[in-house]
Amino acid sequence: MTVPRLRIRGVAAGFCALLFCATGVTQPQATSPQASSTQSAQVIEQGKFTLHKFEQPIGQETYTISRDGESLAVKMDFKFTDRGTEVPLTARFRSANDLTPEQFEIKGRNSRQSSIDEAVEVQSDKVRLRDREKWAEAARPGQFFTIAGYAPATMQMLMFRFWVAHGSPAQLDTWPSGRVKIEPRGQDTISVDGKDVTLNRYTVEGLIWGRETLWFDAGRNLIGAVTVDAEFDHFEAIRDGYENALGVFVGEAGADGMAALADISKAISGSHADPLALVGATLIDGTGRAAASDATVLIEHGRIAAAGPRKGVEVPKNATVVDGRGKTILPGLWDMHAHFEQVEWGPIYLAAGVTTIRDCGNEFEFITAVRDAIAAGRGLGPRILAAGIVDGSGPQQLGVQRVDTPEQAKMWVDRYHDAGFQQMKIYSSVKLEEVKAITEEAHRLGMSVTGHVPGGLDAYQVIEAGQDQINHINYIADIMHPPLPKDAKPLDRFNATANIDIDSPAAQKAIAFLKEHGTVLDPTLSIFEFSTASTAKPPESFEPGITKVAPELREQLLAVGPPSPSSTLAEKIFAKDLEIVGALHRAGIPIVAGTDQMVPGHSLYREIELYVQAGFTPMEAIQAATIVPARVLHVDKELGTVEPGKRADLTILDGNPLESIHNIRKVEFVIVDGTMYRCAELWRSVGFEP
């Protein structure tokens, strides 16, 4: 759920009864008489899907299947508008009657920040593959399908039909790359026009990182898909006529995700030894005290019983002892800008040493179900503290939790509070009066308020209205340069940011204001650094974790364009972002580490490294991901440091991050509530490399 910013990234005859109509299913009608007359009898199927993000309708996809001689020809047009940015995509597919691919081409955007331009040409003995202007060849496999990512939904429908018609193999190779697994997960009954319709539910793995949930009717028509788009946001495609079932689809997908999370958890046992003693490691307890060498941490009943130099800690005879020589023990890490939008994030956070996250905006039903399942031990994942997202009406609006009046503000704050959320999150289209209403009600209930600075407002206004915290450094940069005219273009703002003088009156006024109000910032530097990537500065050069993520995710993250004036300007802006964060830190303004997704697990390491680059000491950077977040969310009596009485959330590194902050990446074990997991096993459980 990234904030808009300057970006340069570029992610046989009898078969007809099975392929199209079956058991009385009526095919979608032509979208217009004109379309019907121009396509005439060649058209054998067409349809439309409404596209949603966070359950909000944002666009549509249409498709037409025609018979062209001995082949089938499919045209797909996919387009949505996400927070003011158009995301158009077209695809063309040609196949034999049994859907064996002959040609495939996809071109356009698959998110606000990524594009795709690929093609596949199938010949008798080989396959030709195009990625933008580059062509390659490979031997033709025996059985395969052509598809590239989550969109268009029509391609997923055709892939499913191919899979059914060709024996429902355990795995199916896909081109230009990848391999998918399709698994039946049961049936669901929904009501359409007063009639019950039974749909078959399946999960698909391999098109995106993680699972998608798809529903098909008896005629193999795709009815609904609950997935994520190319920037990890919740995304749904619902066939025309089934819109009223959106909530059912989202709920069932969430329940199925919980079952999948439980299945993953069963394969990773962890060590529940009690008492557990970690002996001989270097201890960085997170308080700011100097590291203690040859230390012991004793864990009993999920809490820290003792911690300090070995000679001062008595280890019970019945304790399981772990040799920690050469290791470093830290408090469990925090990610203060998370969006837990797939069940696979649970093991990934733990694998990275993250034991607590603040979810900064999600689908209500999904995140509460995930949070509660993890808390009850029904799935692997970090402790989840949540900020309930709300937005107003406008071109940048997101989700369905709409706040356009003080009454709606109170209603949503009360609902989130009653569901156990710790914070409210304000998004980009909330008006000033509603910001005030949200903060007033939240503060009355003991909640704090974080979020964006909505369009038309500035950080001064929302903080004076009661907003306690700001997400993303760019909103602070916007008040550090002289005011721009109302008709200023985005390029004017980018240039103004790149040329901020930290010692100027405007910048110093902003710093003094933030300090006076105790405003907390999660800068999300790691996500903005990606705007500097190009073929001359590939993202893996500053984020090596990309080489370890799941293949379907790695391809997307590595897709960048050549250097350009935009990338040069992005470099200047990012350098200024670092300078601003350093100045805020020196002024005593609380900085908490958060990633806003990007490279799952690894981006938190990069965020911490960037803080050191901005001028933090390694100890201070570690505290930004441990005790400072715990204090900000008022749970520092339970979490954030390695001290007796606190919950046993620990990260164990094979190296010392005080000697080199890059050692923060060497997480070998993680302990959450006293249970110890081997991180390599957690990484592998969701398709990553340790």
Of 266, 296, 314, which residue sits at a domain end? 266
| Helices marked H in 358-473 | 364-375, 406-418, 432-444, 459-464
Does position 430 have pLDDT exceeding 70, yes or no?
yes
- Does the residue 633 lie in any domain? no
Cα separation, 527 vs 529, in Å, equals 5
- Does the residue 328 lie in any domain? no
CA-to-CA separations, 113 to 5, 52, 105, 349, 647, in angstroms, rounded: 9, 17, 20, 24, 39
Q: Are 53 and 398 in contact (CB under 8 A)?
A: yes
Tokens at residue 30, please? Answer: 């032509």
| Helices marked H in 189-268 | 246-266
Q: Which domain holds residue 185?
A: 15-24+42-266
Q: Which amino acid is at 109?
A: R
Q: Which amino acid is at 352?
A: A
pLDDT, greater one: 460 or 25: 460
* pLDDT value of position 25: 34
**Would you give the DSSP letter of residue 654?**
S
- Does the residue 68 lie in any domain? yes
- SS3 letters for 110-140? EECCEEEEEEEEECCCEEEEEECCEEEEEEC
Least confident of 9-13, 351-355, 437-441, 473-477: 9-13
* pLDDT value of position 403: 98
Of 227, 246, 266, which residue sits at a domain end? 266
- Does the residue 67 lie in any domain? yes
Cα separation, 248 vs 223, in Å, equals 12
* pLDDT value of position 487: 87
Phi, psi of 119 (to 5 degrees): -150, 155
Does position 455 have pLDDT exceeding 60, yes or no?
yes
Mean pLDDT calculated for residue range 35-40 = 41
Cα separation, 534 vs 556, in Å, equals 14
Does position 348 have pLDDT exceeding 70, yes or no?
yes
Of 572, 590, 608, which residue sits at a domain end? 590
* pLDDT value of position 571: 96
Cα separation, 106 vs 90, in Å, equals 6
Least confident of 510-514, 579-583, 685-689: 685-689
Q: Are 258 and 343 in contact (CB under 8 A)?
A: yes
Cα separation, 89 vs 79, in Å, equals 6
- Does the residue 148 lie in any domain? yes
Q: Assign residue 122 the CATH number of its domain.
A: 2.50.20
Mean pLDDT calculated for residue range 639-643 = 98
- Does the residue 322 lie in any domain? no
The CA R_g of the chain, rounded to the nearest whole Å, is: 26
- Does the residue 681 lie in any domain? no
Q: Are 611 and 605 in contact (CB under 8 A)?
A: no
DSSP per residue, 9-21: B---TTHHHHHS-
Average pLDDT across the chain, whole number: 92
pLDDT tens for residues 4-37? 333 322 332 222 323 333 323 334 433 333 333 3
* pLDDT value of position 256: 87
State which H helix or E strand residue 330 sits in. Answer: strand 328-331
State which H helix or E strand residue 82 sits in. Answer: strand 71-82
Q: Which amino acid is at 184?
A: P
- Does the residue 178 lie in any domain? yes
- pLDDT band for position 269 (50/70/90)? confident
- pLDDT band for position 1 (50/70/90)? low
Cα separation, 690 vs 536, in Å, equals 27
pLDDT tens for residues 523-561? 999 999 999 999 999 999 999 999 999 988 898 888 888
Tokens at residue 348, please? Answer: 């990934």
pLDDT, greater one: 5 or 139: 139
| Helices marked H in 521-564 | 525-529, 551-557
pLDDT tens for residues 86-117? 999 999 999 999 999 999 999 999 999 889 99
Query: Which residues, at least 6 apart from 427, have a Cβ–Cβ distance to it below 8 Å?
Result: 361, 389, 390, 391, 392, 396, 397, 398, 399, 451, 452, 454
Which value, to the nearest 10 degrees, does the dihedral of the CA atoms of residues 409, 413, 415, 418 take?
-160
Chain mean position to CA 70: 43
Which value, to the nearest 10 degrees, does the dihedral of the CA atoms of residues 296, 300, 303, 305 take?
-50
Mean pLDDT calculated for residue range 638-657 = 98
Structural domains of the chain, count: 2
pLDDT, greater one: 689 or 553: 689
